[in-house]
Structure 1
Amino acid sequence: MSKSEKKERAEMTIREMGLQDAMNTRIGGWGCKGLSGGQKRGVSICIEILKHPKLLFLDEPTSGLDSAASYHVMSGIASLDQRDGSRRTIVVSIHQPNSEVFQLFSSLCLLSSGKTVYFGPAARANESFTLCRFPCPTLQNPSDHFLKTINKDFEKDYGAVEKERNHASFLTRSVVLTRRSFIKMFRDLGYYWLRLEIYVALCLGLGTLYFDLGFTNESIQARGSLLMFIASFLTFMAIGGFPSFVEDMKMKRKKEKRRKRDESSDEEVEHRHRRQRKSRKEKRRRRSHCYSDDSESDDTNRHHKRKSRRASTLPDSDGSGSDDSRLGRGKKRSEKKSRKRHYEDDE
C-alpha cells in the first residue's frame, strides 16, 4: 500500500469516527491538555479499524459520549460489517444503549451473574421476554427493560460482620514498591535509557576535558570544580524523576477517594438496613399489641355474657329463682292452659 493510500484510509477512518475537528490536536496526557476521554476512545477504535480485521472486539466504545455521538460511532462500527464486500464479526460490550443504538445490533447476548440469560437475534428478544411473562411496557427502551429485569437486588441484608484488615509488613511493602519503581523506570525510555546515555556522554566529555591534570596547585582547584559540576548535574538530573512521583501521587489520591467512597457507601447501606430492621420490629410489636388488646376485649365480652346467662338461669341463695325468670315461666304456663281450654270448648 502506497503512502497516499495509507493517508487516505486514515483520513476516511477519522471522518467516520467524527474526529475531523480534532485531527490536528495532540492526544495529551497528564502534563498537557489534549483530547477528551470520548475522543481518546474514538482514536483507539480508529487504530483497530485501520487494520480491517475480520474479528473485532470493542469494550464499551460509547462510554464518555452523548447519545448523538454514541449513535454516530456505533453506526460507523456497524457499517464495517459488510465493507469491501467481506463480512466481519464485531463483538461489542455496551451498557444501557438507547433505542436507536439497540436497533443496530443483529444479535444479542444478555448476561447476569456470569450466566447467559438470552442469546439470539436482537429483534426477537422482546418476544422471548414476553413469553417468560416479562413484557416490555409501551414507550420504553427495550434495553433498559431487559437490564432491569435480569438485574438482581443488590441490596442485601448484611449482618454486623467485623471487617478483617490484612496489611503487609513494612519490609514487604518496601521491597514490592522498590521493585515496582525499578520496573517502571526500566520500561520508560525517556526516564531510564535516555538519562543513561546522557550520563555516559557526560563522563566522556568531562574525562576528556579534565584528562591528565597533574599534581600542581592549579590541579587542586580544577578537581574541586569538577566535583562541584558533577554534584550539581546529578542534582538537576534527579528532578527529572518527579513526573513519575506525581503520577504515583495522583494514583494514590484516586485510590484513597475510592476507598473512602466505598466505606461511606457501606456505612450508609448498613445504616439503612439497621433502620429497616428497627422499623420492622416496631411494626411487629405494634401488631402483636393490637392482637393482644383484641383478644383481651373478646375474653371480657365472653365472660360478661356467661355471667349474665348464669344469673338468669341459676337459683338465688334462698333456693328460689330470680323474679324475672319465674314470671316468664308463669306466663308460658298460663298461655298453654288457655289454649287447651279453647280447644276443649271447640270440641
Structure 2
Amino acid sequence: MTIRDLYPGYFALVMATGICSIALGDVGRTRASVGLLVVAVGSFVALCIALGWRIARYPRLVLADLTAPDRAFAFFTIVAASDVLAAEFARDAHRGVAITLAGFGAAVWLALTYTVPIRLILGPRPQPVLAGVNGTWFVWVVGTQSVAVSAAMLDQPAHGQARLTALLAVLMWSVGVVLYLMVATLVLARLLLLEVRPADLTPPYWVTMGATAITVLAAAQILTMPNSPAANATRPVVGGLAVVLWAFGTWLIPLLVIFGVWRHGPSRVRLAYLPALWSIVFPLGMYAVASMHLGKAVQMPIVERIGRAWTIVAVLAWLIVFVSMCRAFLASLLRLRGHRPAAGGRRQEDGGGVPAR
C-alpha cells in the first residue's frame, strides 16, 4: 500500500498494539508491555508522518475519504490511538506526555465529530448514506470513549474543588453511550434492510464489541476516580450500565466469530492481510483490559479472571496480524524491486520490446 492509498483507519495498528501493551502490563508482563509500547509509539509517529504527507500531496483523496460514508469514521482511529498511548503514559507517571497526547486526541475528536456527520447529512448523496454504514461507524464511539478514558486517568485531586477532568470524563462517557445506541440502530438497519454480501462483513464489524469494551473501561475508570460532584452523581448509573454492556459485549463475540466463519468458509473470501484486521485485534485487547478493570472496580473476581485469561487471546491475535503485516510489507517491497529497471539498462516491455544488449 502506498501513501496515496493509505487506509484512513490504519491507526488501529497503534490502538491494538497499545491496548495489548496495557493488558500485558496489567498481568505483570512488564518487559513484553514495554516492547509493545515501543512498537506502538514508533507506529504512531510513522503513521502521523504518512498521513501528513498524504494530506499535503493528495488533499482531494483525503477529502474524498472524509465524505465517504464507508470510510469517513475510520479517521477516528487517530483519536483512539492518541488516547490509548496517553492512557499508558499516564499509568506510567509520564504526565506531560500523556497530557500532550490526550490534548491532541481531543482536538482531532472535536474537529471530526462535527465535520464528518455534517458533511454526510448536508453534502451531496450519490447513493443513500445507509448503504455505506458499516463497522467503522463504531470507531466514532471508540474515539469518544477514549477521550473519557484519558480524562479519567489524568484526573487528580484538587483540594475539594470541582475538577474539569472528572466532568469531562463523565460527559464524554455519556455522549459515547448515546452514540453507541444511535450507531447500533443504523448498523442493524443496514444489515436487515439491505443485502449482506460476504465482502460487506469486513473486520471493522468487530468494533461493535470493541465499542462496548472501551465504554466499560471508561466506566471502570470513572468508578475509581476520586470523589467529585460529577463522578459522585453518576456512579450508580455508570456501574450498572458497565455490567450490562460487558455482558452484551461478551454475547457479541460468538456472533462475530460466526460472521467471520461464514465470510471465509462457505463464502470463500480469501483470508489475507488487510490493514482492517487491526480492527479485530483492538477489540480483543480492549475486552481483556476492560474486564480486568471492571472486575476490580465492582468487586467481581470472575470478570477480572476472564480478562486476565483473554489477554492470551489478544496477544496471540496481535502476533498473527503483525507477522502477516510484515510479510505483506516485504512482499510489496520485493514486487517494487522486481519492477525497477536494471542499472544501465532498459526495462523489457511485455509487449515484445527489444531487450537491451
Instruction: State whether TM-score is above 0.5.
Output: no
Normalised by the length of structure 1, the TM-score is: 0.23
- Rg comparison, structure with higher value: 1
Higher relative contact order (CA 8 A, sep 6+): 2
**Which has the larger helix fraction?**
2
**Which has the larger strand fraction?**
1
Normalised by the length of structure 2, the TM-score is: 0.22
